[in-house]
Amino acid sequence: MSLSNVTSVSSTPSGLSSSSSPYAGWISGLFGVIIFAGSLPATRVAVADFDPIFLTCIRATIAAVLAWGLLTLLKQPRPSATQLPALGLSALGVVVGFPLFTGIALQYVSSAHCIVFVGLLPLCTALFAVLRGGERPRPLFWLFSLLGAAFVGGYAALGQTEISLVGDGLMLAAILACGMGYAEGAKLSKVLGGWQVISWSLLISAPIMLPIALFMWPEDLHGISVSAWVGLAYVSIFSMLIGFVFWYRGLALGGIATVGQLQLIQPFIGLVFAALLLGEQVDMAMVGVTLIAVLCVAGAKRFA
């Protein structure tokens, strides 16, 4: 093996492969989207019995313990001082901001209503990819991104009858926080690796999240339903950790703005979960818009 080959292999970030197939990022990102799609229905079930602030803090604490175990077991090096600001922004967006804002919003509106706001997340992620990640997609990419957001947003406006300025405002704040967190985390994943980024983001959040979780600990755990415990387990293990392992790897391999367009189909996967788990209705209009969203994702990939 030549010296140049040794250099290229050793410089490949942990968790990423320089020889990955062109579709590796999309496949990994799709797994992440499927896992995230169950987050809002699970959160809806959990906040029925848990305070949303407690839920935000305890899910991050549980995930941080698991992340600490992974980092210790696999002997991962600590991030450098220069990487801490990006980790902090990632944590602020995906560990604190999105879970907290959505948890409170779900006390005002249904999970189906919140899920459709996720259709705005690909556009938001792409904007932060340009502002913070230095990516420069072609003009036709933005056309497909805007079309996808418009169709999903249109379905949200026409298909939902709930109106809540507080709930909708919180969901918009959640989307902005999440888009920023995704872009920062994905940019850092190219250096640290995907699961390492979310793990360190959780760990640097733990000194704040753990004390708040203990302070807000429910007085009577016997009154917590089984479904609420299941919802807590899902958002702690899958939404807060495992989903990001796939998602950050996908964004790092395939491009933040490009692979981020997969989120256009996340609302519809989430609505299917909401229908199966919460008994909410799935109609043909949703199926039609899903197909359009898939076409927009394909177009965005083609012209990224």
Residue 114: name the closest of 258, 278, 226 by CA. 278
More confident residue, 64 or 133: 64
Instruction: Determine the pLDDT at residue 6.
Output: 35
Average pLDDT of the chain, as a whole number: 81
* E strand or H helix at 123: helix 121-131
Please give the structure tokens belonging to residue 4. Answer: 């140049």
Instruction: Determine the pLDDT at residue 304.
Output: 57
Residue 11 has φ and ψ, to the nearest 5°, of -90, -5
Contact yes or no for 92/181 (Cβ under 8 A): yes
Average pLDDT over residues 163-180: 85
Place of tokens 């418009």: 150
More confident residue, 69 or 297: 69
Q: What is the dihedral of CA 250, 246, 270, 43, to 10 degrees?
A: -130
Please give the structure tokens belonging to residue 256. Answer: 């933040």
Domain ranges of the chain: 23-302
Position 17 pLDDT exceeds 80: no
Please give the structure tokens belonging to residue 6. Answer: 């040794």
Position 37 pLDDT exceeds 70: yes
Instruction: Determine the pLDDT at residue 12.
Output: 42
Residue 57's SS3 state is helix
